């Protein structure tokens, strides 16, 4: 039997612009769960608290619930569904629908950030390759979304929406570096991005595309990329 834990027992170790951390912020907001937000300044190095809480990966986000750590953004989101069953759930109830939601959230996880990073890290052939891949990813997600309002379909705003929404402010940067328009390549995704951006939990968790673009500039400087 899971013991009763008060929601004020929640602490999130995070980094402001991290799309992975933002997934957790969105989930917490969807569930109206209060929490303490702790900013880890990753560009300055990692705190002892972070290193102790996530010894295997040493990464944010880390959710501390009654002091106990939960790591990996999608695992944290599922944890929140399961530890707080009286709050709106992000995963649907049906096992098959859950499997599909996990599959597509995992697809976003495997593909989007890595491919996007290669768009701004490289030039020439590797960048062209990254662009081709990003277009493929967007078109695949477009097909999956179809005419649904949210990826969650009948369930409404769900697990895959929360997984992918934090990447929407990164679209502008992908577009600039990759020289394409999401609205042309994947118009349904572009429309979804706009819809989802207006949702309260999302709007208050994300930063503007300009801020993301500036952050990429900072990263490039830090890594000595032209």
Total residues in contact with another protein, by rule CB under 8 A: 25
Interface with another protein, residue 106, by CB under 8 A: yes
Q: Which residue has the tokens 């944010």?
A: 60
Q: Establish if 146 lies at the interface with another protein (CB under 8 A).
A: no
What is d(CA 183, CA 83) in angstroms, rounded to the nearest whole number? 38
CA-to-CA distance for 163 and 141, rounded, in angstroms? 12
Angle, vertex CA 129, rays to CA 124 and CA 108, nearest 5: 135
**CB 42, min distance to another protein, A:** 19
Residue 104 and residue 160 in contact, taking contact as beta carbons nearer than 8 Å: yes
Interface of this chain with another protein, residues 60 to 89, rule: CB under 8 A: 65, 68, 70-72, 75-76, 78-79, 82-83
102 binds another protein (CB under 8 A): yes
**Which is nearer to another protein, 139 or 204 (by Cβ)?**
139
Instruction: Assess 141 for contact with another protein (CB under 8 A).
Output: no
Residue 122 gets the label, from left (phi > 0), alpha (psi -120 to 50) or beta, of: beta
Task: Report the alpha-carbon distance of residue 167 to residue 169 in Å, rounded.
Answer: 6
Contact residues toward another protein (CB under 8 A) are: 2, 55-57, 65, 68, 70-72, 75-76, 78-79, 82-83, 95-96, 98-100, 102-103, 106-107, 140
């Amino acid at each position: 039997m899971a013991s009763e834990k008060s929601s004020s027992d929640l602490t999130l170790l995070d980094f402001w612009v991290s799309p992975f951390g933002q997934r957790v912020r969105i989930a917490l907001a969807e569930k109206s769960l209060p929490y303490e937000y702790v900013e880890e300044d990753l560009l300055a190095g990692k705190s002892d608290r972070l290193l102790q809480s996530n010894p295997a990966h040493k990464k944010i986000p880390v959710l501390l619930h009654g002091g106990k750590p939960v790591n990996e953004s999608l695992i944290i989101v599922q944890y929140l569904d399961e530890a707080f069953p009286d709050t709106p759930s992000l995963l649907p109830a049906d096992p098959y629908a859950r499997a599909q939601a996990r599959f597509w959230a995992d697809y976003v996880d495997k593909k989007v950030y890595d491919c996007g990073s290669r768009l701004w890290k490289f030039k020439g052939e590797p960048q062209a390759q990254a662009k081709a891949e990003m277009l493929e990813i967007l078109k695949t997600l477009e097909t999956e979304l179809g005419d649904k309002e949210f990826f969650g379909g009948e369930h409404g705003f769900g697990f895959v929406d929360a997984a992918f929404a934090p990447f929407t402010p990164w679209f502008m940067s992908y577009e600039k570096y990759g020289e394409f328009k999401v609205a042309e390549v994947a118009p349904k995704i572009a429309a979804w991005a706009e819809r989802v951006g207006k949702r309260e939990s999302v709007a208050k968790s994300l930063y503007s595309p300009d801020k993301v673009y500036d952050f990429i500039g900072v990263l490039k400087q830090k890594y000595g990329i032209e």
